[in-house]
Structure 1
Amino acid sequence: MADSGNPDPAPPQRDWASALGSSPVPQPAGTGGPAPRPQLYEARKAVHNKRIDGPFRRFKWLVMIVTLAIYYITPWLRWDRGPYAPDQAVLIDIEHRRFYMFDIEIWPHEFYFVAGLLIMAGIGLFLVTSAVGRAWCGYACPQTVWTDLFQHVDRFIDGDRNARMRLDKAPWTASKIARRSVKWTIYLAISMATGGAWILYFADAPTLFREFFTGEAAFVAYATVGVLTFTTFWLGGFMREQVCIYMCPWPRIQAAMLDEKSLIVTYKDWRGEPRGSLKKAEKAPEKFGDCVDCNMCVAVCPTGIDIREGQQIGCITCGLCIDACDRVMKEVGRPRGLIDYATLEQCEAEAAGAAPTPAWKALLRFRTLLYLGVWSAIGAGLLFALGTRTRTELTVSPDRNPPFMLMKDGAVRNAYTLRLRNMQARPRDMEVALVGLPQGAVMWTENVNMDAAAPAQVVAVPANETRIVRAYVTIPAGTRADSFSFRLTSLAEDRETDLAATTFTTPGEP
């Protein structure tokens, strides 16, 4: 990294490998060597970030409002699926082993849809990281969203940064106790609402909400709300940046996903160094860079880092330091972009005197397009599978003991267990027919008299259920069969069908 104490105006040599990995040792302006490293076990200093306005801050507001609204409101949305299915728009029905999302219903044997969505989420995270660094961490991570919400509560109750810092140092007077009590009560209310909203995804929301407050809910509901309330209260209200820096594994993983073409929040030290106050710069402008050493970038950072020290594990790429620095540059009449989204390649070129390159061009490269292609292909495959799947399914299990029975007239009988699955929210009559057996083969079920044996039988299957049926198949004496299929046909207007191949066992040759 650049030595900010060096007055040489020539572009410094940058250690890009270090910039992509861990934090370098800072070298403050006006010193001849590196600053001392912080002690490993030094006491934590609370981070009180300053309020700032700008494009990135407004985008964070938007993401926070949208994500919180989705989380808290979604369980209350209704969706009409008919009289035989729940009317909650998004429901994880563990009791009946179903997952409902608006018009989509996922059964346990269709878990590959969930697996596909998880794979898409992972590849999407790789795509975002390789393109714009830790933007997920800076805007949409739950820890970031709830921490941001709690920090707004801090400002509302205690005031902005300086007021909160003074209150921290103040003795525990009645006023301070009252402020802390009000603030922590709001923390607790938000945390309980967070835990309460989570359990509403697993049962009918209005019913569970009423049962929860009348003491009729299951113990697991209270335990889940208790655990989520505590974790939200503690992690979002007190640990905050420590979760991002010490607990979360993603900062360590993302270093392997960044390269010199990834957009990251960067301080352009060749332009800003050596630092100096505005008054000093006015007296000797040729000796100082654009950075006026106002520390606004540090004051607004939610994790309390100094971006001027280079890439660090605590940087969540939220862009608030860009908003702060651009505002200061505007006030002092200097061009924006001293801190900006830029790739390391662009930084090198700009330091060598090239004109700044639009940041968006860094997104159009092979790596990001490859991730996008894979992500899109998986999504398209899931949509195709979802659009072409049928709501009628049949599975067959032949009896193994005994494998066959000889009837008194010489006919051979096999027994089977059929599972008729009706995945529609209405009961349907379904026809089970034999395909591929010799002429004269018949079947009957446990609920049908043997005298009514025929090549096909009709079975009523309830809505959204799997009906298990015992079926018996016979072939006439003197005929043989090795394999055949059961064909299941819905007799409703959709006429969906499904074939299940199986075997027919006959006595061996004498």
Structure 2
Amino acid sequence: MSSPEASPPSLYAAREPIFPRRVKGKFRTAKWWIMAFTLGIYYLTPWIRWDRGPNLPDQAVLVDLANRRFFFFMIEIWPHEFYFVAGLLIMAGLGLFLFTSAAGRVWCGYACPQTVWTDLFILVERWVEGDRNARIRLHRQKWNGEKLRKYGLKWTVWFLIALATGGAWIFYFTDAPTLLRDLLAFEAHPVAWITMLILTLTTFAFGGFAREQICIYACPWPRIQAAMMDEDTITIAYRDWRGEPRGKQSVAGNGDCIDCMACVNVCPMGIDIRNGQQLACITCGLCIDACDDTMDRIGKPRGLIDYIALTDETRERQGGAPIPVWKHVLRPRTILYTALWTGVGVALVVALFLRSAIDVNVTPVRNPTYVVLSDGTIRNTYDIRLRNMQGEPRWFDFSVAADAPLNVAIEGVEGARIEVPANETAHVRLYLTAAPGSTAAEAPRSEVQIWIEGEAVPGAGSPAGDRVARNTVFNGKGG
């Protein structure tokens, strides 16, 4: 009787919780300052006021989905101007390529929201439970009063931070003080509650429990970054030619590394940088701070773990000096990224200052292309969509420029002048007519320009107002 086949080994490894040790140093200090700066921007921006007049919201940064507009201080973006948002996204991508090409995953290590909130949650965990060894002991001990109390307090603070995070996000989409009053009175729209709940739970789970798992498994950037890096990219590395073999300094022939595991114990990703560059490394620099502190205590030079490039490693192994940092940064790839980033930025600024406060769309009516009135006059009809992008009601005058004289009339009004309310769109039916026997009436097609001039608004635009033109055609009898 044959024995049953042995089951294949599992390829799944259970997650080992990571308890980073507290560390001091220049990179840790930089991370604290960046955390305070980025969180300050995120939480406080919706409360900044900006006076735009009586007909517009006074929130400095507002994504007004109801009225389909985006406000950023003095800038107002309409849906048809989405190219501004697309340009900003392109700049963000190019900036990420630039920083990664120059200094590896510095975005991941210092400014990524997952990193920032994970750092904040770990800080709370350390305040409540103690440093690394105390947290490990608490994690391993059985559930009792102490563990319930500390975990309960930690999770409560985490949840409050997550709740503030979800709440801050929805404040960007409506007037923040009004929404806060509605939330406190339990009168907010269900969409606000649902959005805040989803963001609260995801922040609580990602920052408190998933942590490095998001960076390793969920984020695509670790897989993409390899294409952005080359041998001159500055990243964190271990100088094994100086540190090996590891061991006590009292043993002759040992390197500078005493195998104290400080670099591993402070790593938020739980990796050992001495094993070489790894996908999980976010180049946060905490291992550098820990190693430098150890080198200071044993009287060895700093820099056993440091930001270096692959070309520096080759030179240092041969006894040469490292290449200056500016030569690593200023190279063809980074210069190209900088030029592209700057070009897109300049184009957006130019487009922003050259845009008109009038948005016009002219559509000739094709069925029929023209009509002959009882007196022989030829009339063409045009559907016009006119958007007033100012915060005040405005009068708009219509005129036409053509080689042959044409008359202008607007359906439902006297003359060729209409008023459009502030921040609204008017749909206008415009008529162009040519006298019997005129050049435009007899020609098959005539090129024309329809001009729209907006009345000046005090304090907005030039004193003469805005003026735009749209090219179209006038269809005649062709005979």
Please say if 1:119 is aligned against 2:84.
no
Please say if 1:469 is aligned against 2:445.
no
Which residue does 1:425 correspond to in 2? Answer: 391
SS in 2 for 1:464: coil
Aligned partner (choices 424, 434, 451) of residue 487 of structure 1: 451
Q: CA deviation at 1:212?
A: 2.4
Residues of 1 paired with 2:110 and 2:22: CA distance?
A: 16
Residues of 1 paired with 2:13 and 2:358: CA distance?
A: 64
- Aligned pair count reads 460
Residues of 2 paired with 1:360 and 1:183: CA distance?
A: 44
> Which piece of structure 1 moves more, 167-176 or 210-219?
210-219
Aligned partner (choices 311, 314, 321) of residue 280 of structure 2: 314
Q: CA deviation at 1:361?
A: 3.0
SS in 2 for 1:471: strand
Residues of 2 paired with 1:371 and 1:112: CA distance?
A: 20
Which residue does 1:478 correspond to in 2? Answer: 437
Aligned partner (choices 449, 472, 476) of residue 502 of structure 1: 472
Q: CA deviation at 1:39?
A: 7.6
Q: Counterparts of 1:170-209 in structure 2 under 5 Å?
A: 170-209=141-180
Q: Counterparts of 1:87-166 in structure 2 under 5 Å?
A: 87-166=58-137
Which residue does 1:291 correspond to in 2? Answer: 257
> Which piece of structure 1 moves more, 129-138 or 495-504?
495-504
Q: Does structure 2 conserve the Cα–Cα contact (< 8 Å) formed by 1:428 and 1:462?
A: yes
SS in 2 for 1:109: helix
Q: Does structure 2 conserve the Cα–Cα contact (< 8 Å) formed by 1:393 and 1:488?
A: no
Which residue does 1:442 correspond to in 2? Answer: 407
SS in 2 for 1:265: strand
Please say if 1:67 is aligned against 2:38.
yes
SS in 2 for 1:294: coil
Q: Counterparts of 1:391-410 in structure 2 under 5 Å?
A: 391-410=357-376
Residues of 1 paired with 2:150 and 2:263: CA distance?
A: 28
Residues of 2 paired with 1:386 and 1:333: CA distance?
A: 58
Q: Deviations over 1:235-278 (max 9, x none)?
A: 1100101111111111111112211110010000000000002x
SS in 2 for 1:255: helix
Residues of 2 paired with 1:399 and 1:447: CA distance?
A: 17
Residues of 2 paired with 1:416 and 1:216: CA distance?
A: 46
SS in 1 for 2:228: coil
Please say if 1:252 is aligned against 2:223.
yes
Letter in 2 for 1:485: Q
Letter in 2 for 1:58: T
> Which piece of structure 1 moves more, 199-208 or 351-360?
351-360
Q: CA deviation at 1:219?
A: 1.9
Residues of 2 paired with 1:318 and 1:40: CA distance?
A: 29
Residues of 2 paired with 1:381 and 1:92: CA distance?
A: 23
Q: What is the TM-score with the length of structure 1 in the denominator?
A: 0.88
Q: CA deviation at 1:430?
A: 1.6
Q: What is the TM-score with the length of structure 2 in the denominator?
A: 0.93
Q: CA deviation at 1:466?
A: 1.8
> Which piece of structure 1 moves more, 340-349 or 223-232?
223-232
Please say if 1:380 is aligned against 2:346.
yes
Q: Does structure 1 conserve the Cα–Cα contact (< 8 Å) formed by 2:449 and 2:472?
A: yes
Aligned partner (choices 13, 23, 26) of residue 55 of structure 1: 26
Residues of 2 paired with 1:369 and 1:437: CA distance?
A: 51
Which residue does 1:303 correspond to in 2? Answer: 269
User: Percent same amino acid among aligned pairs?
Assistant: 53
Q: Deviations over 1:195-236 (max 9, x none)?
A: 111111111111122222323222221111111111111111
Q: 1:494 to 1:198 in 2, by over 3 A?
A: farther
SS in 1 for 2:426: strand
Q: Does structure 1 conserve the Cα–Cα contact (< 8 Å) formed by 2:398 and 2:408?
A: no
SS in 2 for 1:361: helix
Unaligned 5+ segments in structure 1 are 1-37
SS in 1 for 2:404: coil
Q: Deviations over 1:155-198 (max 9, x none)?
A: 11001111101110111111110111111011111111111111
Residues of 2 paired with 1:163 and 1:358: CA distance?
A: 42
Q: 1:469 to 1:86 in 2, by over 3 A?
A: same
Residues of 2 paired with 1:42 and 1:402: CA distance?
A: 72
The alignment yields a C-alpha RMSD, in angstroms, of: 1.5
SS in 2 for 1:60: helix
Q: CA deviation at 1:415?
A: 1.5
Q: CA deviation at 1:501?
A: 1.1
Which residue does 2:4 correspond to in 1? Answer: none
Residues of 1 paired with 2:335 and 2:38: CA distance?
A: 27
Letter in 2 for 1:447: G
Q: CA deviation at 1:459?
A: 1.6
Q: 1:407 to 1:437 in 2, by over 3 A?
A: farther
Q: Does structure 2 conserve the Cα–Cα contact (< 8 Å) formed by 1:330 and 1:336?
A: yes
Q: CA deviation at 1:324?
A: 0.6
Residues of 2 paired with 1:242 and 1:435: CA distance?
A: 65
Q: 1:241 to 1:447 in 2, by over 3 A?
A: same
Letter in 2 for 1:475: A
Aligned partner (choices 213, 219, 224) of residue 195 of structure 2: 224
SS in 2 for 1:434: strand
> Which piece of structure 1 moves more, 164-173 or 385-394?
385-394
Q: Does structure 2 conserve the Cα–Cα contact (< 8 Å) formed by 1:298 and 1:304?
A: yes
Q: CA deviation at 1:471?
A: 1.5
Please say if 1:412 is aligned against 2:383.
no
Letter in 2 for 1:445: I
Please say if 1:458 is aligned against 2:424.
no
Q: Counterparts of 1:38-49 in structure 2 under 5 Å?
A: 40-49=11-20
Letter in 1 for 2:85: V
Q: Bigger relative contact order, structure 1 or 2, given CA contacts below 8 A and separation 6+?
A: 1
Q: CA deviation at 1:64?
A: 0.6
Which residue does 2:337 correspond to in 1? Answer: 371
Residues of 2 paired with 1:137 and 1:59: CA distance?
A: 14
Q: CA deviation at 1:357?
A: 3.5
Q: 1:225 to 1:251 in 2, by over 3 A?
A: same
